[in-house]
Structure 1
Amino acid sequence: MTRKILLVDDSPVARKILRKCIPEDGCFEIFEASDGLDGLKKFEEINPDITFMDLTMPVMDGMEALGEIKKRNKDALVIIQTADTQIKSVFMAMELGAFMVLKKPISKDSIKAVLKEADGALQTER
C-alpha cells in the first residue's frame, strides 16, 4: 500500500533533506507545501496519511496549521519537526494533537523509525 506523505516547511533545503530521508521503495508518494496555509490546502486536496510540519513558517505557522488540520480530521497523523525545542512548544504541539515532535536536524535513521511507528499507528487505526 502506498502512503501519501505531505512535507510542510518554508525551507526548500529542509524539504529536500527530509525527502532524501524517506525510503525510495515505492511505498511513499510525496507532496510538498511551502508554508502552513499552503500545507492546509494541500492537506485538504490529497488527504495524506502522514504530514511532516515545521513550526516556524510565514503566512501560517505550524502550530496554527496543526490546529486547523486537527479540526478537519481529528485522526490526522502530523509529525512536527522543528529547531525550536522549548518544552512549551513541544507541549503545545502535543496538546494540539501532534503524533510526535522531532528535533532538527533530522537523520535518515530517525525518519525511518518514525515512519515505522506511524505505519503501526495507521494500521491500528483501520
Structure 2
Amino acid sequence: MARKQVTRSLPDGWDVEVTYAANGLEGIEAIRAGKGEMVFLDLTMPEMDGYEVLEAIRAERHKSIVIVISGDIQPEARDRVLALGALEFIKKPINKDKLAEVLHQYGLM
C-alpha cells in the first residue's frame, strides 16, 4: 500500500520505470542489478531496514539518489539518514506537493 501511494505521488508525466521491493534485501538486490538510480526508501522494513540499505549503498559505492520516506520523524532519524548519504527525508504519509518540491529543489525533474 505505501509503495503504491509513493508511485501515485510521483509527478504526472515523469518518465520513470518503477521497481518495487518488498523488503530491504530485495531493495539492495535491485540496486545492485542497476535498478536504483533513484530510490525512495522506508526505514522500517523486514530483512534489512532502511539504515542497513543506506549503509550497503554507501559501502558498495552505488550512485543511487536516495530519498527517505518514513513515519519515524525523530530528528535523530533524519540526521542519521542524511549522514548515511540520503538526499532528503520526507515524512509519511507522503504529500504529492512536498515530493514535487523536493524533486524540483534538487533538479531531479
How many residues were matched structurally?
109
2:10 aligned residue: 22
Q: Distance in 1 between matches of 2:41 and 2:34?
A: 15
User: In the TM superposition, what is the alpha-carbon distance from 1:87 to its structure 2 partner?
Assistant: 1.2
Higher percent of residues as helix: 1
User: Cα deviation per residue 1:67-95 (whole Å; 9 max; x = unaligned)?
Assistant: 10122225421111110011111111111
1:7 aligned residue: none
Question: Unaligned stretches of 5+ in structure 1?
Answer: 1-12
Runs of 4+ deviating beyond 6 Å: none
Q: Distance in 1 between matches of 2:19 and 2:56?
A: 19
Task: Tell me, yes or no, if structure 1 residue 65 matches structure 2 residue 83.
Answer: no
Task: Tell me, yes or no, if structure 1 residue 97 matches structure 2 residue 85.
Answer: yes
CA-based RMSD: 1.8
2:38 aligned residue: 50
Question: Unaligned stretches of 5+ in structure 2?
Answer: none
User: Cα deviation per residue 1:3-56 (whole Å; 9 max; x = unaligned)?
Assistant: xxxxxxxxxx00011010113415211111011111000111124221000001
Amino acid at match of 2:95: S
CA contact (8 A) 2:19 2:35 kept: no
CA contact (8 A) 1:70 1:76 kept: no
User: In the TM superposition, what is the alpha-carbon distance from 1:111 to its structure 2 partner?
Assistant: 1.5
Give % identity.
35
SS at match of 1:68: helix
